[in-house]
Amino acid sequence: MVSCQSLRIQPPSEEFLTMLTGTDSTGRNKLRFDGVYHYIRPENYNHGTDLVEGKPTRYIDTPYVDQPVFFCHNGLMAYNNALYLDSAVYSYNMEHYSVQEDAFQNEWGVYTVCSDTVKATFYMTLANDKFVPVTQRTICHFEGVIQNDSTIRDWKLVPPYPKYGPQSDFEINDMKQARTLTFKSVPIQRWIDPNNAWINRFRETSTREPKN
C-alpha cells in the first residue's frame, strides 16, 4: 500500500537562521545536556502492557519519558512528540533516530537563554488540512523559565503562533497551556548527535549575498 501523505517544510525565517549560525553561548550552562526535560502528567496511567493472550501481564503507573525536549551544547535542540511507557521502548525508538538527516525524524530547532528564560524555536509536524493528507514541518516558538538546572516552569507555545489546519486545533491549544518540565538523566549521547540534525542543511543556504 502506497501512502499519499506528503511532508512540506516551512522555509526558515531570518531569525531562525541567525540563531542557527550564531555563536553566543550565554546562559547555556544553566541547562543540563546529559538527559531530557519532560512533562510529568498528574494523572495515574495504570496502563496494562506486555499482553499475553490479550491480557496485560504488568501495569505502568508512571511513563518513563513523556514528550522529551533535548537541549544540546551547540545551541540546537530537539523535541520528540511521543510518550514512552518504559526504558526498553524508549531505547528501541531512539536507536531508530540515529540518522537525523531525514526530515521525518526528530523535531529539530534552536534555542537561546536570556537571564532565566529559555527561548526555543523549532520545527513541529502539524496536519494542515483535514481533507488532504498533507503535513507541514512548521516553525513554532516556545518559552519557559529556568527555575534550576532540573526544572523549567511555564513552558508553553508563544506567539507568533503557527499557521495550521483544523486537524491541529486541539494540539495547538494544548501546547499553549503552561507546563513544568522536569529533567531526567538518560543516555541520549549515543543516540542523538546534533551534528547530524537535518536542520544543519540550512547552514549552507544561510550564506546569503549582502543586501543592498
Residue 94 resides in a domain: yes
Q: What are the tens digits of pLDDT across the range 18-39? A: 999 987 888 999 999 998 999 8
**Position 174: which residue type?**
D
Residue 16 resides in a domain: yes
Residue 53 resides in a domain: no
Quote the pLDDT of residue 2.
38
Residue 30 resides in a domain: yes
User: Does the predicted TM-score (pTM) go above 0.95?
Assistant: no
Number of domains in the chain: 1
Q: Which domain holds residue 76?
A: 6-40+60-203
Could you give phi then psi for residue 15, rounded to 5 degrees? -60, -45
Could you give phi then psi for residue 30, rounded to 5 degrees? -80, -10
Residue 74 resides in a domain: yes
Residue 48 resides in a domain: no
Residue 19 resides in a domain: yes
Interval 35-45 mean pLDDT:
77
Q: What are the tens digits of pLDDT across the range 115-150? A: 999 999 999 887 765 555 567 788 999 999 999 999
Q: Which three cell numbers stand for residue 102?
A: 531525514
Residue 55 resides in a domain: no
